[in-house]
Structure 1
Amino acid sequence: MVRIHPSILSADFVNLERDLARIATADGVHLDVMDAHFVPNLTFGLPMVQRIAEVTDLPIDVHLMIDDPDTWALQYAIGGVDSVTFHAEATRDAVALARELRARGTRAAIAVKPGTEVDLVAEHLREFDMVLIMTVEPGFGGQSFMPGMMPKLETLRARARDLGIDVALQVDGGITDDTLPIAAAAGADVFVAGSAVYGHADPAERIAALRAAGGGEAVAAAAGDAPAGSLER
C-alpha cells in the first residue's frame, strides 16, 4: 500500500489551515520540527504541532530533527499525533525512547541520515513502528533524491519479513512520480512529499498521482511480498 504524507514545509504558513484542508485526501501530514542545531535550519516547535492537531483530522507524523530527543520527544506524544520520529544520530537510547513513546500512546519511529548505516536499527527493529530512511540530507526541502539509499530499505524490509513483523518504512526527500516507484520497489510504503504536492495548483490531484505512481498493492509484490507497515490506529 502507498501512503502519502505531504510535508507542510512546502505549504503557505500564513494560510496553513487552508493548505491543510487542501490535502484532506492524504494519509497523514508530515511536520518537520527543526532546531537549527541538529540541522542547519529552524522551523517550529510544540505550539505549532498542538495547534495543527486542533484544526486537522489527518494523522500527524512528527519528524524531530533536533538535538536531545531523549528529553524533548515525549512532549510531542499528544492527542492527534499518530507517530513521533526521532533521529538515530541524536538519541542516547533509541530503544528506551521508543518504548516510552509507545507507552504514551504514540507510535515510535526512528530516522537515519544518508550517511548512517541501518545495522543497529535492524537489530532492534521490533522496537519501532516505523523507520524513516532519509533520501536527502535533512534540513532543507527541494533536494534531489538519493537512489543509493535503496539498499537500506531492502535490508530493513527483508529483516521485517524474517521477523514476521509489521513495520512501516518511510522515505523523505526528492519524492516525485519518478522516484516514488523506485523507493516503493525497494520496500517503502510511506512517502513524504513536499513540493511534489504543494508545488502544484491542485494538491489533491497530485496526491492521487503519487499514489498511482506507486502502483498501490502491486508495490508489495515488487518488494518481494513484504508486509506493509501500518500507521493506522
Structure 2
Amino acid sequence: MAFFGKLGDRVVGAPSILSADFAHLADEVERARRGGAELVHFDVMDNHFVPNLTVGPAVAASLVEATELPVDAHLQVENPDSLIPAFIEAGVASISVQVEAATHLHRTLKLIKSGGCEAGVALNPTTPPELLGWALPYLDYVLVMSVNPGFGGQRFIPEMVQKVRRIREMAPVPVEVDGGITAETAPLMVKAGAQVLVAGSAVYRGDPAAEMRRIIEAGRAARGR
C-alpha cells in the first residue's frame, strides 16, 4: 500500500497514537478518521534512544486489523534493523528510522522496502538535513521532528520551519512533520513545504474529530486549497 507515493501535492493529517487512550486505541483512531485523518502515526520507543517506552509490533498488528487507515511506524530505537521485520509482518504501510540511530542507513532503507513498506528517515531537531544527501534516492518521505522525540505535549521548535524548507529545496520528497503541530503551527509547516501533519496532544486534548479537522483545514488553507 503506497501512501506517500500517491500523496501528490495534497496536505493530510495523521493522529499520533502516543497521546491516545491505549485502552481504546481503535476507537481513538476512528474518531480522528472521522475528522479527516488519512494516516495513523505509530511511535515506537525503546527507553534507550529516547527516555520513554511505548508499544511494539503486536500492538501495531492489532491496530492494522482494526482500522482502514494505513499505519506509519516511526522507530525511535537504537537498533531499528532488529525490529523492522516484525513491523513488516505486522502489516504497517510505512516505516521511518532515526538517521542518528542507523549505522548503515542504505541497508536499513533497503530492508524496509524489500518488505513492501515505504521507507522514511526521521531527523531530530538539531540534525542537519544535509545528512540525507546520499540517502534521498532511497527515501519515500522525510519526517522532521519539530520537538525532541520521546514525549507528547512539547512546545513547537520554530526553527524547524526552515529545516522543512531546506529539505524541499534538496529534493521533491514528501515531508511529514511531528511535534507541537496545532491549528496555529500547521500553516507555518505547510507554507514551508510539509504535507503530512502529525498531531497527538492537539488532537486528543478534546474531541479528536473536531481537533483533527481544525488542523487539516488550517494546513490546507495555508496552501490555498
TM-score by length of 1: 0.87
Cα distance in 1, alignment partners of residues 110 and 213 from structure 2:
34
Conservation of the 8 A alpha-carbon contact between 1:122 and 1:156: no
SS in 2 for 1:205: helix
Please, which of 127, 132, 136 is the counterpart of residue 125 of structure 1? 136
Q: What is the Cα-based RMSD across aligned positions, in Å?
A: 1.6
Pick from 126, 143, 146 the counterpart of residue 115 of structure 1: 126
**Contact 2:97 2:122 (C-alpha < 8 Å) held by counterparts:** yes
Equivalent-residue separation in structure 2 for 1:215 and 1:196 (angstroms): 17
Tell me the equivalent position of 2:31.
22
Kept in 2: contact 1:108–1:129 (CA 8 A): yes
Q: Secondary structure at the match of 2:112?
A: helix
Instruction: Give the Cα–Cα distance (whole angstroms) in 1 for the partners of residues 39 and 161 of structure 2.
Output: 23
SS, match of residue 131 in structure 1: strand
Structure 1 residue runs without a partner (length 5+): 162-166, 222-233
Letter in 2 for 1:81: V
Give structure 2 stretches of 5+ with no counterpart. Answer: 1-9
Letter matched to residue 167 of structure 2: L
Cα distance per residue 1:30-83 (max 9 Å; x no partner): 111101000000111111111111111111010111111122223211364111
1:144 is aligned to 2:155: yes
- TM superposition outliers: structure 1 runs of 4+ over 4 Å: none
Deviation at residue 204 of structure 1 after TM alignment: 1.6
1:70–1:92 Cα contact (<8 Å) kept: no
TM (normalized to structure 2)? 0.90
Of 190, 207, 212 in structure 2, the residue corresponding to residue 207 of structure 1 is: 212
> Which residue does the alignment assign to 2:59?
48
1:172 aligns with 2:178: yes
Give the match for residue 225 of structure 1: none
Paired-residue identity, %: 42
Is 1:193 aligned with 2:199? Answer: yes
Distance in 2, Cα, partners of 1:132 & 1:105 = 19
Structure 2 equivalent of residue 90 of structure 1: 101
8 Å contact kept, 1:135–1:146: yes
Alignment of 1:32-71 (within 5 A): 32-71=43-82
Moved more, 94-103 or 31-40: 94-103
**Distance of 1:146 and 1:91 partners within structure 2:** 24
